[in-house]
Amino acid sequence: MARSLEDALKEVLADDNKVSKYEAKVIRELVMSDGVVSEEEKAALQKALANNTFDEEAFELLSGLLLRSHMKD
């Protein structure tokens, strides 16, 4: 069974409450594994970006993913 995005976000935040560039790449791969950014995934990413600490590269990576997903809608 595939892990949910929310579970993955909780896991990467558990160690130091920050998301690194490497962790962001893992999150991006999880989101893009089915080729679609679902509404649930968008909501989870937006919540995480608003409420948690991302290093600059991680923030750019995941906010870019969100931006592209909104442009497709």
What is the per-residue pLDDT across 17-30, written as a single tens digit (0 to 9) for each? 889 999 999 999 99
Q: How many whole angstroms separate alpha carbon 3 and alpha carbon 54?
A: 21
Tokens 């750019």, located at residue: 60
Q: Which two tokens stand for residue 61?
A: 């990576």
What gap in Å lies between CA 37 and CA 14, rounded to an integer? 24
Q: For residues 20 and 39, give the distance between their C-alpha atoms in angstroms, rounded to a whole number.
A: 24
Segment (H or E) for 53: strand 53-54
pLDDT of residue 3: 67
Domain boundaries, the chain: 5-72
pLDDT of residue 1: 36
pTM of the predicted protein model:
0.82
